[in-house]
């Protein structure tokens, strides 16, 4: 992943509504969620939702497909994994162990 791609993805996730949308899509799994369901679940009007989904799509973090009259959105797990790998590789001084969460016993 190039730094420019990582910056676009992080910028998209830096906005609270987009982060909420992405989190919901990650939790929904590969089946995804219809646009209307996203709006209902998060209380986002259609025009606003469309704006945020466009930003997430542009960043490569979400994918869409049409099923009948519905547009189904899902997280792009491959791009999410690339972003996590990029952050781990470039932001942990080359030592992924530094980025590992601290476990409390």
Beta carbons within 8 Å of 11's beta carbon, 6+ residues apart: 59
pLDDT tens per residue, range 22-33: 999 999 999 999
Domain 3-94 has CATH 1.10.540.10: no
Tokens 């980025």, located at residue: 99
pLDDT tens per residue, range 13-63: 999 999 999 999 999 999 999 999 999 999 999 999 999 999 999 999 999
The Cα 100–Cα 93 span in angstroms is: 13
Please tell me whether residue 6 adopts helix, strand or coil conformation. helix
Other beta carbons within 10 angstroms of residue 79's beta carbon come to 17
What is the Cβ-side half-sphere exposure of residue 48, based on CA atoms within 13 angstroms? 12
The Cα 19–Cα 39 span in angstroms is: 14
Domain ranges of the chain: 3-94
């Amino acid at each position: 992943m190039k730094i420019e791609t990582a910056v676009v993805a992080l910028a998209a996730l830096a906005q609270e509504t987009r982060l909420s949308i992405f989190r919901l899509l990650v939790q929904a799994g590969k089946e995804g969620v219809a646009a209307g369901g996203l709006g209902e679940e998060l209380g986002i009007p259609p025009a606003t939702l469309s704006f945020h989904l466009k930003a997430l799509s542009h960043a490569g973090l979400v994918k869409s497909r049409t099923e009948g009259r519905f547009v189904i959105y899902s997280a792009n797990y491959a791009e999410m994994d690339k972003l996590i790998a990029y952050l781990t590789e470039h932001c942990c001084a080359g030592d992924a162990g530094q980025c590992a969460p601290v476990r409390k016993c």
